[in-house]
């Protein structure tokens, strides 16, 4: 049976899209037939993160009734399938979120996992993305406003009968100025299932339009997301250790042409 999982947060800018994109790629690398759908129709970023902008048919077209959902599915990095939202404002004007439900019905027919990147906030589009799923991953940063919004989202999701798999703490900085994992778990009453460290590599990968777990699989962030993917489907994951060779040995190897 297809698992429909929404990645939501409440507050914007906490890293939902980055996590949804990379998690989708991670699940695809484990052999799961995975579709990532960008339900953030107003502020679509998924296609930019995955380097898939400029597609002819997008979710905008589907939600405006101009195209079937099948035409908006594209093959992305690592074998993940992607439904981009479309970034044109013109397309946004014509959409009807009510059509999302029937589009999802088609998507779940041919996939193992459908990941929905939900918009921020609790407007109609965000609620539609949450209500469409059976399960939800709550993304938050360890800051008070982010956690406050995550709490609202969690309560709404519970009310809509969505199971919360857990909380992903993004941009964790080992800094005592932020809330601890235990505090976040206590406030949200949901277990923390992954802690993604603050990593400048994430922005760099996004600038290249490449998912981090492909661009830099050894980074702590990649390892954390791969581990999260493994946990979701009950797989084992062995973290990829960063290269510990010294600069000089790398240089020597490079000069000798071993790299």
Partner 1 sequence: MDLPITRPSMICYADEIEFSEFLKDLSAKKHNGFIRITSGSDEGFILFKKGKEIAASYDRNSRVDAIDKIKDAMDDNGTILEIFDVRPSQIDFFMNMNKPYLIDSEAYDLINEIKRSKEVNNLEPELEPKAVPKPKPVSDAIRRSETIDEVEPVRVDEVEPVRVDEVEPVRVDEVEPVKSVTVEEKPISKPVLDSVSTSVNDSVDSKDLTEAELVKSEPETVSVKEDVYQINDSETVNEPLNETKPVNEPVVESVPLPKNLEPEFNEPSETVSSTDIPVNENLNSTVKTNEPNRNESDLVEELEEVEMPQMDRSKLMQKYGIKEIQEKDVDDILESYKGGSVSDDDVEKIELTLMNKIKKSILAMSKVQGVEVMVFLDNTNGLSGKANIIIESESKGFLSRLMGDSSNVNLERKIKDISQIEIRKSFRKYPEIIDKFEVNVEIS
Q: Which residues bind partner 1 (CB under 8 A)?
A: 10-13, 96, 98, 120-122, 124, 127-128, 131, 143-145, 147-149, 151-152, 155-156, 159-160, 176-180, 182-183, 186-187, 189
Output 26 or 44, the one with its CB closest to partner 1.
44
HSE value, Cβ hemisphere, 13 Å, CA-based, for 128: 19
Least separation in angstroms between residue 183's CB and partner 1 is 6
Output 130 or 225, the one with its CB closest to partner 1.
130
Using alpha carbons, list the distances in angstroms from residue 38 to 88, 104, 226, 233: 14, 12, 20, 21
The rounded distance, in Å, linking the Cα atoms of 9 and 17 is 10
Least separation in angstroms between residue 120's CB and partner 1 is 4
Identify whether the C-beta of residue 190 lies closer than 8 Å to the C-beta of residue 169.
no
Least separation in angstroms between residue 155's CB and partner 1 is 5
Identify whether the C-beta of residue 14 lies closer than 8 Å to the C-beta of residue 196.
no
Output 31 or 145, the one with its CB closest to partner 1.
145
Q: What angle do CA 10, 165, 175 make, to 5 degrees?
A: 60
Least separation in angstroms between residue 184's CB and partner 1 is 10
Least separation in angstroms between residue 258's CB and partner 1 is 41
Output 27 or 179, the one with its CB closest to partner 1.
179
Among candidate residues 125, 151, 119, 122, the one with its CA nearest the CA of residue 138 = 151
Torsion, Cα 45 50 56 59, to 10 degrees, reads -50
Output 81 or 154, the one with its CB closest to partner 1.
154
Q: Which residues contact 251 (CB under 8 A, 6 or more apart)?
A: none
Q: Which residues pair with 138 in a beta bridge?
A: 8, 167
Cα torsion angle, 179, 181, 185, 186, sign: negative
Least separation in angstroms between residue 125's CB and partner 1 is 10
Q: Determine the distance from the C-alpha atom of residue 89 to the mean position of all C-alpha atoms in its chain, rounded to a whole number.
A: 23
Output 139 or 213, the one with its CB closest to partner 1.
139
């Amino acid at each position: 049976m297809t698992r429909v999982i929404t990645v939501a947060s409440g507050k914007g800018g906490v890293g939902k899209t980055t996590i949804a994109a990379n998690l989708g790629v991670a699940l695809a690398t484990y052999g799961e037939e995975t579709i990532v759908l960008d339900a953030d129709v107003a502020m679509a970023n998924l296609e930019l993160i995955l380097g898939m902008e400029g597609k002819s048919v997008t979710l905008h077209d589907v939600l405006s009734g101009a195209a079937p959902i099948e035409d908006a599915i594209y093959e992305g990095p690592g074998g993940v399938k992607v439904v981009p939202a479309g970034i044109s404002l013109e397309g946004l004007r014509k959409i009807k979120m009510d059509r999302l439900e029937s589009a999802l019905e088609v998507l779940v027919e041919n996939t193992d996992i459908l990941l929905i990147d939900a918009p921020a906030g609790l407007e109609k589009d965000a609620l539609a993305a949450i209500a469409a799923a059976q399960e939800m991953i709550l993304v938050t940063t360890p800051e008070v406003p982010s956690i406050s919004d995550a709490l609202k989202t969690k309560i709404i999701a519970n009310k809509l009968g969505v199971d919360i798999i857990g909380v992903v703490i993004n941009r964790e900085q080992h800094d005592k100025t932020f809330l601890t994992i235990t505090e976040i778990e206590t406030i949200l009453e949901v277990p923390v299932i992954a802690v993604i460290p603050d990593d400048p590599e994430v922005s760099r990968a996004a600038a290249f339009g490449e998912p981090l777990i492909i661009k830099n699989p050894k980074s702590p962030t990649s390892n954390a997301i791969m581990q999260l993917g493994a946990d979701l489907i009950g797989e084992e994951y062995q973290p990829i250790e960063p290269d510990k060779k010294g600069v000089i040995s790398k240089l020597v190897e490079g000069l000798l042409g071993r790299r």
